[in-house]
Chain A
């Protein structure tokens, strides 16, 4: 790692945090789209600023860009207030208009200057470390400047400090106005002020981050970590911290992915963000797919290197043939290794990920069924004094269960110390007695209070 790489990583980490904070509130307010709108509209601000001062580095551009973002929000609100269209439609009407004016202005007037759409849309990280903030420069005297380090760090750092200060100061106001705007208004915390405050911070963050990472990645960094964190926790503070963490993680691992693959940084980061989201949204399937891909890529890369050493010339081959050449060298053992690696990786991922998703949902339903069965079984034992009804071997006849099921249930009860078996006769333990009583009580009265602590162990009582 050289110092330029370290600086780039610091910049993207700062950008990720600065984006994740307003992003969390945008996601909670169901306003994700507005970040997309702002990130496009600010182009108009930049272009107009450029025509005024003819200098792409002028701070006026940032001011005008942020202003354009706020104008977008105001316009969207205005159109929405007419009651003719919904918010998403209003957003869809406003930002393409502002964006296209920006594009037309560039195309008509700025053909010869360094302000082309590509550089505006993708952003450029590679030069960020060399764009230094210098002050006290004396005209004509070389090396007279005081060098303060990369400009991007100063810009993003300042924005981040402001955002954090605002967040900590107004956390309670932001929370209440996001959750219940009516109450916030009644209590005197104007939701309108909070709304425009959040929009201003979002606009400024987007503008500040825009230069370094481009609008698409800015939107991704605002929304994806927050949306992922939303699925992982039900606590606002944790959600904020998780969004920041996921954003930084995706940014840095995306950066290295781009480095390894020699691909676009923005593209790699967005890919990592998408994978993170999917891993949480549907952990089991995604873990499996990701693990298989990683395992294959791992072996592929080894063979690729080996073949390169052996002088195979890949340069002129089309991609399909390259892949074919490498794969044709695979032997059976490799596939077995590959599967082994994928399985262990997937197992690890599934173990550490939050439990959600389709397959887990199925598992949970099965689990609930088993627990109902357990309860039926315990009730049966409790209600019958006679030994014939409590004999291990005759359970299935009496409760009308299949043998296999009876066995599973008895095992489960034994494992939880709810029953004992004496001479093939099942009896309830004290714990089993207590559990059954509480569970019946719950089912009849539907009063939750009693079994609140037991719920974590048993799905049955949830939801």
Chain B
């Protein structure tokens, strides 16, 4: 049986100001996995996601989404940026931020209507943020802001989800709630790619892993490649992590 790849990245090199931060990355993400990208700060994890999504132009290499360029497949991909990347003092409400997730399917000029609003309210409900729908976003706690971002990705109703550190600064309950939603997505046949920092929880949460530090160190099923050897190669120091058999 041939594997279908959700994302294929070939020879990707990305540079800021002519200084490469990602070198010659080859990566194939099979459809239907719940994958995490791990690597130290500054490893280029966010950059990798951004260049897959066409937010940053790579200086070399190609990216395809289900075999086609990203530009043709936008509607299949949802994105949760790192929380610190936006201005939370922006004058808008939680519901409005979630509605932004529907803009992609609307395209230029068309405005969101009742249908989009209904979908957004449902997404808010799913992440347990419905009571906060009219809150100004700066008055939400960090974990609540993260949930709003998750709801915004859910409302995009995509096939592939990219999430940059969705567990950043959330408490244990919220983390469980988020991972349950991600697992549900995988059950529905979606592909989920998450930037993750907590190595302890990798075996429990994910079934696929990519080690990244400027270069790709390894990628594959967690049970096969999540070991001290790869961790040491990625982080440079010797890691002892108990891998569940």
Q: Please state if B109 and A169 are interface contacts (CB–CB under 8 Å).
A: yes
Question: What residue of chain B has the Cβ atom nearest to residue A169's Cβ?
Answer: B109
CB of B138 within 8 Å of the partner chain: yes
**Which among B27-35, B90-98, B197-205, B217-225 touches the partner chain?**
B90-98
Given contacts A169-B109, A185-B53, A189-B103, whether A235 and B91 have CB atoms under 8 Å apart is: yes
Question: What residue of chain A has the Cβ atom nearest to residue B18's Cβ?
Answer: A83
Q: Please state if A452 and B131 are interface contacts (CB–CB under 8 Å).
A: yes
Q: Please state if A180 and B91 are interface contacts (CB–CB under 8 Å).
A: no
Complex contacts, A182 vs chain B, CB 8 Å: 50, 53, 55, 79, 81, 85-86
List B residues 30-54 near A (Cβ within 8 Å): 50, 53-54
- With both chains docked as a complex, state the minimum distance between the C-beta of A203 and any C-beta of chain B, in angstroms: 23
Complex contacts, B50 vs chain A, CB 8 Å: 182
Q: Please state if A81 and B90 are interface contacts (CB–CB under 8 Å).
A: no
Complex contacts, A462 vs chain B, CB 8 Å: 139
Q: Please state if B17 and A81 are interface contacts (CB–CB under 8 Å).
A: yes
CB of A309 within 8 Å of the partner chain: no
Q: Please state if A28 and B91 are interface contacts (CB–CB under 8 Å).
A: yes
User: CB < 8 Å: which of B53, B71, B90, B103 contacts A28?
Assistant: B90
Complex contacts, B189 vs chain A, CB 8 Å: none
CB of B20 within 8 Å of the partner chain: no
Q: Please state if A189 and B100 are interface contacts (CB–CB under 8 Å).
A: no
CB of B245 within 8 Å of the partner chain: no
**Which among A60-68, A120-128, A135-143, A171-179 touches the partner chain?**
A171-179
- With both chains docked as a complex, state the minimum distance between the C-beta of A35 and any C-beta of chain B, in angstroms: 19
Interface secondary structure of B, over-half rule: mixed
Complex contacts, A324 vs chain B, CB 8 Å: none
A143-171: contact bitstring with B at CB < 8 Å (1 yes, 0 no)? 00000000000000000000000000111
CB of B111 within 8 Å of the partner chain: yes
Q: Please state if B74 and A172 are interface contacts (CB–CB under 8 Å).
A: no
- A279, B47: Cα distance in complex, Å: 44
CB of B61 within 8 Å of the partner chain: no
- A236, B108: Cα distance in complex, Å: 19
- A448, B143: Cα distance in complex, Å: 13
CB of B2 within 8 Å of the partner chain: no
The tally of residues in A whose CB lies under 8 Å from a CB in B reads 34
Complex contacts, B77 vs chain A, CB 8 Å: 186
Complex contacts, A448 vs chain B, CB 8 Å: 131-132
CB of A318 within 8 Å of the partner chain: no
Q: Please state if A180 and B138 are interface contacts (CB–CB under 8 Å).
A: no
A437-453: contact bitstring with B at CB < 8 Å (1 yes, 0 no)? 00000000000110010
- With both chains docked as a complex, state the minimum distance between the C-beta of A56 and any C-beta of chain B, in angstroms: 39
A418-449: contact bitstring with B at CB < 8 Å (1 yes, 0 no)? 00000000000000000000000000000011
User: CB < 8 Å: which of A171, A186, A233, A463 contacts B53?
Assistant: A186
- A448, B53: Cα distance in complex, Å: 35
Complex contacts, A233 vs chain B, CB 8 Å: 91
Q: Please state if A172 and B112 are interface contacts (CB–CB under 8 Å).
A: yes
- With both chains docked as a complex, state the minimum distance between the C-beta of A165 and any C-beta of chain B, in angstroms: 12
Given contacts A179-B90, A234-B136, whether A186 and B54 have CB atoms under 8 Å apart is: yes
Complex contacts, A185 vs chain B, CB 8 Å: 53-55
Q: Please state if B92 and A234 are interface contacts (CB–CB under 8 Å).
A: yes
User: CB < 8 Å: which of B100, B109, B111 contacts A179?
Assistant: B100
CB of A82 within 8 Å of the partner chain: yes
Kindly count the residue-residue contacts between A and B in the assembled complex, taking CB atoms under 8 Å apart: 86
CB of A277 within 8 Å of the partner chain: no
Question: What residue of chain A has the Cβ atom nearest to residue B153's Cβ?
Answer: A183
User: CB < 8 Å: which of B104, B132, B139 contacts A187?
Assistant: B104
B58-94: contact bitstring with A at CB < 8 Å (1 yes, 0 no)? 0000000000000100100101010001110011110
Complex contacts, A188 vs chain B, CB 8 Å: 71, 74, 104, 107
CB of A230 within 8 Å of the partner chain: yes
Complex contacts, B92 vs chain A, CB 8 Å: 175, 179, 234-236
Q: Please state if B79 and A183 are interface contacts (CB–CB under 8 Å).
A: yes
User: CB < 8 Å: which of B53, B91, B103, B139 contacts A230?
Assistant: B91
CB of A239 within 8 Å of the partner chain: yes
Q: Please state if B109 and A176 are interface contacts (CB–CB under 8 Å).
A: no
List A residues 74-123 near B (Cβ within 8 Å): 81-83
- A448, B140: Cα distance in complex, Å: 10
Complex contacts, A178 vs chain B, CB 8 Å: 90
Given contacts A236-B91, A448-B131, A449-B131, whether A83 and B103 have CB atoms under 8 Å apart is: no
- A171, B107: Cα distance in complex, Å: 13
- A180, B164: Cα distance in complex, Å: 14
Complex contacts, B16 vs chain A, CB 8 Å: 83
- With both chains docked as a complex, state the minimum distance between the C-beta of B85 and any C-beta of chain A, in angstroms: 6
- A175, B16: Cα distance in complex, Å: 27
Q: Please state if B103 and A179 are interface contacts (CB–CB under 8 Å).
A: no
Complex contacts, A186 vs chain B, CB 8 Å: 53-55, 74, 77, 79, 104
Complex contacts, B152 vs chain A, CB 8 Å: 183
- A81, B55: Cα distance in complex, Å: 16
Q: Please state if A179 and B55 are interface contacts (CB–CB under 8 Å).
A: no
Q: Please state if A173 and B108 are interface contacts (CB–CB under 8 Å).
A: yes
- A82, B131: Cα distance in complex, Å: 46
Complex contacts, B103 vs chain A, CB 8 Å: 172-173, 176, 187, 189
- A412, B135: Cα distance in complex, Å: 28
Complex contacts, B54 vs chain A, CB 8 Å: 185-186
Complex contacts, A449 vs chain B, CB 8 Å: 131
Question: What residue of chain A has the Cβ atom nearest to residue B90's Cβ?
Answer: A179
- With both chains docked as a complex, state the minimum distance between the C-beta of B158 and any C-beta of chain A, in angstroms: 10
Q: Please state if B109 and A234 are interface contacts (CB–CB under 8 Å).
A: no
Q: Please state if B86 and A179 are interface contacts (CB–CB under 8 Å).
A: yes
Residue contacts A-B, CB under 8 angstroms, 22 given: A30-B87, A82-B17, A172-B103, A179-B100, A180-B85, A180-B100, A182-B53, A182-B86, A185-B55, A186-B54, A186-B74, A188-B104, A230-B91, A233-B91, A234-B91, A235-B93, A238-B91, A239-B91, A449-B131, A452-B132, A462-B139, A463-B139
Known: A186-B55, A188-B104. 16 other contacts (CB 8 A): A28-B87, A28-B90, A30-B87, A170-B109, A172-B103, A179-B87, A180-B81, A183-B81, A185-B55, A186-B74, A187-B104, A188-B74, A188-B107, A233-B91, A239-B91, A462-B139
The 8 lowest CB-CB distance pairs between A and B, nearest first, are A187-B104, A234-B136, A449-B131, A185-B55, A83-B17, A186-B53, A186-B79, A182-B81
